[in-house]
Structure 1
Amino acid sequence: MDAVDAIENVELNVCSHHRAEHDFMNLRIAAIFIVLVGSTTGALFPVLARRSTWLQVPKSVFDFAKYFGSGVIIATAFIHLLAPALEALGSECLSDGWKEYPYALALCMLSIFSIFVIELVAFRWGTTKLAKLGKSHDSHGHGLGAHASHGPEGLPSKTEKTVDSDVESAQDTHESHSHGPRSWSTDTTTQIIGVGILEFGVILHSILIGLTLAVDEDFKILFIVVVFHQTFEGLGLGSRLAYMDLAAKYHWIPVFAAVLYGFTTPLGIAIGLGVRHSYNPASTTASIVSGVLDALSSGILVYTGLVELFAHEFLFNKEMMAASNAKLAYAVGSMMLGAGVMALLGKWA
């Protein structure tokens, strides 16, 4: 009994008390600004580079950034979110009730279904609005800057492409004369919903990473990993933001979203430094909060990665399905490289 009591006392001590880390305080403070630069640069560069008239970035570079970023997002969902959620909600500090059911996986599934329902309702509403305007809506063309597409079974012939192009050109000309400049539309709404869902999941994850970095004992290793992690993740988000097709007066939205992402991890670090004397990442409350948020965020990124990126960028993208084998291999290889690099970083963070 004495040995059992001793073990229980040790576990209680770990879960209830935390020694505030004062090592590398100057570097921990500097991390706020270093991570800010890395995150913001990663997210903002694709947006600004695509709009720049003097910075001629080859399309192949944009394609690499887009597909590499897709791989980063998918690896983040499984390696950097779902795995930590399983660990946090399986912590020894939690009561036995938490160990009787795979809550992390259930929350991930709940998140996936929630995002599905939200998008389903949004697109049904959008389709109804377009029908009232006498226009059609391509159900496979929405999402994170994806081109309108019809899936592999509906690849158009050259004649159909020419006709479609002429019709679309005529429609655009008619709309420009009848209604003036293109303004807020259903397509704008669907794009913002898609990117907003992605950014929401990434932001939750980024704040938790910053909080962990501020109080972690193995600061140096985690700091290096977080800089690369947030830069690559920013690249993935930024490449999606860059391909949003918005009217000119709404061009501030991708820039705002990129800058917002850049500030989230530094904000988490600042909060962590402010509460480092009382915050215990191994405590019951911290384990539950981080586990639940990580699980929900993983569901968001799993849905976004598999549906919006895998399906709409490849299977339902008529341009990609008709592309050469070399281009397809380049895109898939870039995505696998992004996933591989991000998965490797999971060894240290």
Structure 2
Amino acid sequence: MSDSSDLQCGATDNEISWFSLRVGSVFIILATSMSGALFPVLARKTKWIHVPKEVFEFAKYFGSGVIIATAFIHLLAPGFDELTSPCLSGIWGDYDWAPAIAMMAVFAVFLVELFAFRWGTAKLRALGVEGYDAHGHCAGPSGAMGAHGPEGTDSVGAPLSAGVARILPSEAELEAGDEHTMTETSGAAQILGVAILEFGVIFHSVIIGLTLAVDENFIQLFIVIIFHQMFEGLGLGARLAFLDLPRAYRWAPLIGCIAYGVVTPIGIAAGLGVRSTYNPGSATASIVSGVLDSTSAGVLLYTGLVELLAHEFLFNPVMTGASNGRVVYAVVCMLVGAGIMALLGRWA
């Protein structure tokens, strides 16, 4: 550990190299982030882009691995480093705050989803719609996506199994107003699920942008972040693409992609604006980034392990009835995504 006298724990007088390229990185990262996130959504929602079903399958499972690796390698590990910085003192040195904050985030997400699920099912039950899962696990014509899309069909809209079909409300159970409320509640539940996922990604992306704007090893970090943001965007976009939303929410996937695409460039621009004094290793920056990284890690861990892995492989009737070959293919795609993101953690 460096001597305390050598630490730069406050504002610094930075000498920024590659300034023109740093400015250009705002637009380059914007393009790569946006393209990674938008491609799955546009490919599935538009008729003029014809993408084979296998590509969507790969993107979906690859994205699950990316999200889980991002939580462990790109969020939780930096959270440990930032919240154990030698610049911090007092309460920050008395406890391992990174895992504690991540744990609190896991329980916070769980409680939000628990109460939202109970509220949605209670509302539908009051309308006389029994057995309907407002969380989206057993309804709708899209792929098995947990809170990020209904479970019960495969990714190209194969028919519901008989067991699942029996618990859905029949037409006789639905009046016009009730059906509207049901689809609105289901859409809101799916939006909540993917909003939680995006929440975990966005704060991390802002910090990445701030760091890239002032980091001394700019070229190496820039190259890695191009791939990092593109793969992370692909994982998020694959989830957004398979949302089965009512018409009122049809723009939500595009809004989610755009929000993801712009946050890192905004972070870079903000970092360039304070480039002469901003110090990522300062006490204040370490606390802010450490808390945000640890919180985001908890959010993505819950989303990745519960909503993606458990609901994709264990509770998805399509996957439980699939051939061994298809399951192995899905697992390999997921491990490839996790492996690539873990490898990128070697440099960023």
Fold in common (TM above 0.5): yes
Q: CA RMSD in A?
A: 2.3
SS in 2 for 1:294: helix
Aligned equivalents of 1:262 and 1:62: distance in 2?
Answer: 20
What corresponds to 2:203 in structure 1?
Answer: 204
Aligned equivalent of 1:326: 325
Give the whole-Å Cα distance in 1 for the aligned partners of 2:100 and 2:329.
35
Check whether the contact 2:37–2:257 (CA below 8 A) recurs between aligned residues: yes
Which residue in 1 is equivalent to 2:4? 8
Q: In terms of mean alpha carbon deviation, does 133-142 or 95-104 score higher? A: 133-142
Q: 2 CA distance for matches of 1:166 and 1:281?
A: 56
Distance, in Å, in 2 between the alignment partners of 1:306 and 1:251 is 27
Letter in 2 for 1:129: K
Residues 184 and 246 of structure 2 are in contact (CA less than 8 Å); yes or no, is this contact kept in structure 1? no
Q: Alignment identity in percent?
A: 54
User: Which AA in structure 1 matches 2:56?
Assistant: F
CA-CA distance at 1:19 after TM superposition? 3.3
CA distance in 1, matches of 2:32, 2:301: 24
Q: Does the C-alpha gap of structure 1 residues 55 and 174 become closer, same or farther in structure 2, counting only changes over 3 Å? A: farther
Kept in 1: contact 2:149–2:190 (CA 8 A): yes
1:74-89 paired onto structure 2 within 5 Å? 74-89=68-83
> 1:155 matched to which residue of 2?
none
The one-letter amino acid of 1:257's match is: G
Q: Compute the displacement of 1:79 (Å).
A: 0.3
By how many angstroms is 1:302 displaced? 0.3
Partner SS, residue 191 of structure 1: helix
Partner of 2:106: 112
Shift of 1:100: 2.0
How has the CA–CA distance of structure 1 residues 164 and 298 changed in structure 2, closer, same or farther, with 3 Å as cutoff? closer
**What does residue 40 of structure 2 align with?**
46
- Structure 1 residue runs without a partner (length 5+): 1-5, 150-157
**Residue identity in the other structure for 1:137:** Y
One of 7, 28, 47 as aligned partner of 1:34: 28
| Equivalent residue letter for 2:132 | H
Give the 3 Å change call, closer, same or farther, for CA 99–109 of structure 1 in structure 2. same
Q: What residue number does 1:153 align with?
A: none
Q: Contact 1:21–1:216 (CA<8 Å) still a contact in 2?
A: no
Q: Distance in 2 between matches of 1:21 and 1:172?
A: 68
Mark the structure with the bigger radius of gyration. 1
Give the distance between the partners of 1:100 and 1:46, measured in 2 at CA.
45
Cα distance in 2, alignment partners of residues 133 and 161 from structure 1? 25
Deviation at 1:317, TM superposition (A): 0.3
- Residue matched to 1:239: 238
TM-score relative to the length of structure 1: 0.89
Shift of 1:17: 4.4
- Relative to structure 2, which stretch is displaced further, 332-341 or 21-30? 21-30
Residue identity opposite 2:32 in structure 1? G
Instruction: Report the structure, 1 or 2, having the larger helix content.
Output: 1
> Which residue identity does 1:145 align to in structure 2?
G
Structure 2 residue runs without a partner (length 5+): 139-145, 154-158
Q: Which residue of 2 aligns with 1:145?
A: 149
How high is the TM-score relative to the length of structure 2? 0.89
1:68 to 62, 65, 82: 62
- The partner residue of 2:127 within 107, 128, 133 is 133
Count residues with an aligned counterpart: 331
Query: Are 2:150 and 2:244, in contact at CA under 8 Å, matched by a contact in 1?
Result: no
Return closer, same or farther for 1:20/1:248 CA change in 2, 3 Å cut-off.
Answer: same
Q: Residue 180 of structure 1: CA displacement? A: 10
| Alignment deviations for residues 208-263 of structure 1 (CA, whole Å, 9 cap, x no partner) | 00010001000000000111000000000000000110123421111011011100
Which whole-Å CA distance do the structure 2 matches of 1:249 and 1:94 have between them? 48
